[in-house]
Structure 1
Amino acid sequence: MTYASGGASELRYAVTSDINDDGRLDLIVTNQGTNSIGILFGYGNGTFLSQLILNTGSNSHPSSMALGYFNHDNQLDVAVAYDGTKNADIWLANGKGTLMRQTSDGVRFVSTPLSIASSDLNNDGLSEIVVAYSDSDSLDILVTYQNVSFTNGIRYSAGSSPKSVAFGDFNNDNRLDIVVANSDSNYTSVFLGYGNGSFTHQRRYSTGSSPYSVAVGDFNSDTRLDIVIANYLSDDVSVFFGDGNGYFSEETRYSTGYLPRSIAVGDFNSDTRLDIVVANSYSDNVSVFLGNGNGSFANDTWYSTGSEPHYVAVGDFNNDTELDIVVVNYFNHDMSVLLGYGNGSFANETRYSTGPLPQCVAVGDLNNDTRLDIVIANSGSNDASVLLGLVNIGFVNESTITTGNGSKPRSFVIGDFNNDSRMDIVAANSGSNNISIFLGHENLIFLNPTTYATGSRPMSIAAGDFSNDVQLDLIVVNYDSESVSIFLGYGNGSFATQKTYSTGSNSYPYFVTVGDFNNDTILDIVVANQGTNNLGIFLGYDKGTFPNMILYPMGYGSLPFFIVVGDFNNDRKLDFAVANNGTDSLSILLQKC
């Protein structure tokens, strides 16, 4: 299953978190090309709602994210770093599926941020941010206050081009420390934390050539954290043993394949000793090093992957309690899964298609079936692939449903439209001026679509019970014919012919969503009219009918294009958050009566 992040979005980063506190993992992505972050809410069965777009501002170009607790409300928030504006800011989660931008001007950087990480570095219960830069030889530590503001960045000199950051308590003082891989200066930097958000000056340890990825673990069974680094240009890994006081031994080197790019650790042979896996991007394989428990490793065993493996992760994908390996193959547009036998050896790869140029991979149970699933960011197609895990089988390959030649589907909605307890899909097709109904069958199969004519160029679709008959209905906005279409559902997967309501001359409606805005237990409709720069509200009346539209101006040139509905001030009245494409802003409209 592939979820688009938008044309020219240049998806750069993805994280998982339960943003709306429904016990289901959601996806958050950075869309560098379209200056936005996107939230895809999970249904808990491995499928997701269409992306909710949050504008980050003109030329901001968000590139990296980190999750953290920034305001003592026990909700995971999101820190975002921006390439274009060279700053970072915080988006606070409220547990209801919304993120509120907290630091509108952000925290300014003097250089372009490469990546950020987050953890509680000063033991105050709030997360701090660590920033590495692409063209600077330093790190910044941003310490959080209760009001979600940050101190000015505390800058710590690192090596040249820091590529990767990891955390760990290296001196056993219960305070987090930092290790950095500096790709252009051939050493790693260790910063010991004082527990108040500040750190000692770096201690440097020589590595191989171009250290690229870093991980930590206890490799010699002395209860002290050690460090392992993949050296990109010297084709090896460096292992540093910690003494428990914050110092490390000289490196021990182990040869890998060509151009090792990513590293992960785990116990692959069930001997309670940590092992290492490395993705070798130029030799198209992974190296597995089995640990002896005394800090030494057996010679690596190679396992073939696809072309140019970029990222490696581990997890138990077939529920046999043994760790497996997943690798994304950049030039093959797929991923390799290597199932572990529990004795340190692995089965030959099984390949699964992804989108073009997969960059990174995340692992988690996305559909609450106790089986690990996989999410992949595809840099070449501006989307993310979700592959659901099946016990003893593997993963569900990407499936495609066809809406027809020239149909140009622009929006879709998921729901059970024929009351068989299986999810169905409805797509709004802007090229063919219709909607396609795909009824879900067993084994993730969808029946051939039934189509219903809409107005001209349908752009957005939503579902709800507008006639209070306990059957799902549909609402579509028609951009060129300046109208909305209502399709009342019969509960068997079929719908009545559309009823249309005008949105006004030159309105060009772009987006629609629903909610009970006047607390009369009847669903209402709100439309974003780009042409007239306003919101149109249709209050539901009886049996799926709607009176005239009520208009709310959004300001000249605002071009509203996305609306989120929620009770933002806890007064039991639904409010609106509106993303304005023309003014690069997010407007909050609180309901007063």
Structure 2
Amino acid sequence: MNGDGLLDLLLANYGSNNVGILFGLENGTFLNQKIFETGLGSHPSSIAIGNFNGDNELDFAVSCDGTMDAKILLGTGKGEFSLEKSGQTLFTSAAVTMAAGDLNGDGLSEIGVVFDENDNIDILFTFKNVSFANKMTSSTAKLPYSVAVGDFNNDARLDIVLAIYDGNSVVVLLGYGNGSFAGESIFSTDKYPISVTVGDLNDDNLLDIVVANSGSADVSVLLGYGNGSFSPQITFSSGSQPWSAAVGDFNNDTRLDLVVANSGSNDVSVLLGYGNGSFADQTKFSVGSRPRSVAVGDFNGDTLLDIVVANSGS
């Protein structure tokens, strides 16, 4: 976020109504967070990183539960950000999460937003004056809770996958490359899917789907066929109340592994991948109280992947 070649952390601080950036140091430690206020009672809940104004510097959008809107903060590439007032977009209900990607081929990042108590996803289109003036709403199955983007049918156009909490399923929306999407395809998961991410888990160069199922203490893996459809789920045990999942190669065998943040057992599970879509039994590592989000990256420059966890209870 500051152009020094080191990974930084970006946090939505729900209780203190701000966003924090922790700039990374070469030894894997971080400077104290730099605060960017989002407004009294805003309660920021989700962040999406993208290039919203076409200057090739990283910006970010933040959804705020309390004010039911999204705000854009534009980056200079040197660790400074400014709140773009023309980029603020009001919602009809609180946003649960969002993801960014170029969904209409214009070279700018759009965001897909899913809402609490709302069965829709909104696609907010970006203009070079950094506004989200236009949006497209797609109806989904009941209560989408997480969103990710990827090319699931190999047409070089980004598609969307949603975790449907009350429907025990994921919904895939195939993109036409102009910001519109085909009708939904539904694939079953285990109980109360709450987080979705994507990666090539069986080394066939096709994207697969990983889902954290908060109600059944496991993760679902759905292997992609490259045409927008997926295999029936395969489940792998995690800790209690898995809340977030990420992929990365943690043992340097060139095969993707899984890490899962378990909110109910205050730990993370690492599942090493065999490269065929299956995984070894979990190994658990203790973290703080009620971990809700997990990410991976090389934070100390040793070319080995590290894990970072946001603990909502501590």
The TM-score normalised by the length of structure 1 is 0.47
1:178 paired residue number:
160
| Percent identical | 53
Q: Which one-letter code corresponds to 2:183 in the other structure?
A: R
1:203 to 167, 183, 207: 183
Aligned: 1:322 with 2:255: yes
What's the CA shift for 1:365? 1.1
1:30 paired residue number:
12
CA distance in 1 between partners of 2:139 and 2:113 (Å): 12
What's the CA shift for 1:207? 4.7
Q: 1:132–1:163: 8 Å Cα contact kept in structure 2?
A: yes
CA distance in 2 between partners of 1:70 and 1:87 (Å): 16
What's the CA shift for 1:56? 0.9
Aligned runs of 1:370-385 on 2, under 5 Å?
A: 370-381=303-314
What's the CA shift for 1:342? 5.0
Aligned: 1:368 with 2:307: no
2:288 paired residue number:
355
1:570 paired residue number:
none
Q: Which one-letter code corresponds to 1:56 in the other structure?
A: T
Unaligned runs of 5+ in 1: 1-18, 209-229, 233-258, 382-593
2:171 paired residue number:
188
CA distance in 2 between partners of 1:265 and 1:345 (Å): 15
1:55 to 17, 21, 37: 37
1:562 paired residue number:
none
What's the CA shift for 1:170? 6.0
Q: 1:25–1:44: 8 Å Cα contact kept in structure 2?
A: no
Considering Cα pairs closer than 8 Å and 6+ residues apart, tell me whether 1 or 2 has the greater RCO: 2
Q: 1:260–1:279: 8 Å Cα contact kept in structure 2?
A: yes
CA distance in 2 between partners of 1:177 and 1:170 (Å): 6
CA distance in 1 between partners of 2:153 and 2:253 (Å): 36
Query: Per the alignment, do residues 163 and 280 of structure 1 end up closer, same or farther by CA in structure 2, a change over 3 Å counting?
Result: closer
2:126 to 144, 150, 157: 144
CA distance in 1 between partners of 2:91 and 2:106 (Å): 24
Query: Per the alignment, do residues 110 and 286 of structure 1 end up closer, same or farther by CA in structure 2, a change over 3 Å counting?
Result: closer
Q: Which one-letter code corresponds to 1:153 in the other structure?
A: K
Q: Which one-letter code corresponds to 1:378 in the other structure?
A: N
Aligned: 1:334 with 2:267: yes
Aligned runs of 1:574-589 on 2, under 5 Å?
A: none
CA distance in 1 between partners of 2:43 and 2:122 (Å): 20
Instruction: Say what the alpha-carbon RMSD is for the aligned residues.
Output: 3.3
The TM-score normalised by the length of structure 2 is 0.84
1:71 paired residue number:
53
Q: 2:201–2:276: 8 Å Cα contact kept in structure 1?
A: yes
Aligned runs of 1:3-402 on 2, under 5 Å?
A: 19-103=1-85, 106-169=88-151, 174-184=156-166, 188=171, 190=173, 192-193=175-176, 195=178, 197=179, 199=180, 203-208=183-188, 230-232=189-191, 259=192, 261-264=194-197, 266=199, 278-286=211-219, 300=234, 302=236, 304-340=237-273, 342=275, 346-381=279-314
What's the CA shift for 1:373? 0.8
SS in 1 for 2:85: coil
CA distance in 1 between partners of 2:122 and 2:210 (Å): 30
Q: Which one-letter code corresponds to 1:203 in the other structure?
A: G
Bigger radius of gyration: 1
Query: Per the alignment, do residues 312 and 344 of structure 1 end up closer, same or farther by CA in structure 2, a change over 3 Å counting?
Result: same
CA distance in 2 between partners of 1:286 and 1:67 (Å): 25
SS in 2 for 1:106: strand
CA distance in 1 between partners of 2:204 and 2:10 (Å): 36
Deviations 1:162-211 (A, max 9, x none): 2233334567664434344444467836364352x4x25x5144554xxx
Bigger Cα displacement from structure 2, 183-192 vs 140-149:
183-192
Deviations 1:90-118 (A, max 9, x none): 10110111111112682112221222221
